[in-house]
């Protein structure tokens, strides 16, 4: 089975989810950690019925090593989700993209060091072209003042890279949908427990009738990670798949051009998109 259809579907679906998330999260009245926890728990809840009806789970797979990696995965995703959603509230999207653009490089390094994947010059060149393409498309010019939210955005990309590697390991043992329930549910429960005093902030979404947008965003995010996890299971090389997933930022641009008619700076956007997709081709040489 070819993993590429799943790998390319994942960033498109996540781009749609991110567009909806930005509309919801930008308001300063809701704590970023609480929103991340509630959002992840919603994705887990929406996935759970499909997991029960389509997959089976053997409790014997929860060996000591698997449980330890599950705890590590929970910690990495919890910090990454909190950092991402908190920075999204306070940092322009172009700066967030810049801060997280190096994630494929961290994944490549980790995959070679910890997962035993083969390092090639083509992988490095392809990842570099993808990062360059993203930066050109968003034309990051730097920020006048570095804040703690920029640091959170930078760290979230690093923690996401670590979490992606635990995904690859755990998907050797767990069915796709059940693992998706765990990978969203466990970090979200941890966040809601940690920020339990801020949970009352969630009433804001109900009062302001934004709950529907959150549900749609959760649906697209769930579908995105399902296709991403399927790609991980089919391919043995996370370093080939993650760079494709990180093009979600460019799909945001393309969807904005098509759906929102945002046609300004088209030349720069086209150059960035072409560079990134050329990088994907080089990686797969």
Quickly count: other Cβ atoms within 10 Å of residue 190's Cβ. 21
Residue 264 has a pLDDT of: 67
Residue 255 has a pLDDT of: 76
What lies within 8 Å, CB to CB, of 25 at 6+ separation is: 32, 35, 85, 88, 89
For residues 164 and 73, give the distance between their C-alpha atoms in angstroms, rounded to a whole number. 8
> pTM, whole model, 2 decimals?
0.83
Structure tokens at 263: 């046609």
Residue 10 has a pLDDT of: 94
Residue 57 has a pLDDT of: 86
Structure tokens at 104: 């494929």
In this prediction, the residues of the chain whose per-residue pLDDT falls under 70 are: 1, 22-31, 92-99, 138-145, 201-202, 204-210, 259-265, 284-285
Residue 206 has a pLDDT of: 62
CB 96 within 8 Å of CB 160? no
Which CA distances in Å does 22 have to 12, 88, 244?
16, 7, 22
Residue 261 has a pLDDT of: 63
Residue 204 has a pLDDT of: 63
Quickly count: other Cβ atoms within 10 Å of residue 120's Cβ. 15
Structure tokens at 59: 């409790």
CB 278 within 8 Å of CB 136? no
pLDDT in tens, 192-212: 998 888 777 667 666 556 677
Residue 94 has a pLDDT of: 58
What number of CA atoms fall less than 13 Å from residue 74's CA on the CB side?
17
Helix, strand, coil share (%) of the chain residues, nearest 5 = 80, 0, 20
Residue 6 has a pLDDT of: 94
CB 253 within 8 Å of CB 273? yes
For residues 156 and 177, give the distance between their C-alpha atoms in angstroms, rounded to a whole number. 24
For residues 22 and 222, give the distance between their C-alpha atoms in angstroms, rounded to a whole number. 17
CA dihedral 22, 251, 155, 190 (to 10 degrees): 60
Residue 143 has a pLDDT of: 53
């Amino acid at each position: 089975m070819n993993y590429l259809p799943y790998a390319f579907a994942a960033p498109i679906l996540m781009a749609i989810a991110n567009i909806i998330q930005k509309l919801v999260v930008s308001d300063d009245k809701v704590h970023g950690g609480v929103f991340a926890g509630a959002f992840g728990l919603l994705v887990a809840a929406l996935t759970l019925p499909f997991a029960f009806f389509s997959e089976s789970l053997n409790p014997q797979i929860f060996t000591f090593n698997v449980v330890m990696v599950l705890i590590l995965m929970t910690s990495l995703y919890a910090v990454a989700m909190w950092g991402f959603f908190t920075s999204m509230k306070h940092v322009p999207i172009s700066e967030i993209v810049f801060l997280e653009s190096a994630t494929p490089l961290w994944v490549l390094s980790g995959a070679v060091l910890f997962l035993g994947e083969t390092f090639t010059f083509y992988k490095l060149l392809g990842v570099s072209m993808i990062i360059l393409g993203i930066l050109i498309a968003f034309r990051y010019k730097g920020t006048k003042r570095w804040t703690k939210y920029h640091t959170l955005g930078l760290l979230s990309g690093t923690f996401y890279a670590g979490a992606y590697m635990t995904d690859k390991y755990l998907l050797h043992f767990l069915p796709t949908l059940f693992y998706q329930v765990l990978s969203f549910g466990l970090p979200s429960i941890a966040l809601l427990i940690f920020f339990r005093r801020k949970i009352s902030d969630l009433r804001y979404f109900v009062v302001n009738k934004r709950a529907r947008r959150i549900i749609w965003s959760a649906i697209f995010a769930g579908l995105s990670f399902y296709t991403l996890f399927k790609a991980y299971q089919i391919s043995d090389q996370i370093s080939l798949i993650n760079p494709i997933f990180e093009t979600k930022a460019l799909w945001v641009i393309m969807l904005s051009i098509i759906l929102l008619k945002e046609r300004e700076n088209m030349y720069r956007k086209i150059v960035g998109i072409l560079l990134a997709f050329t990088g994907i081709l080089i990686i797969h040489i």
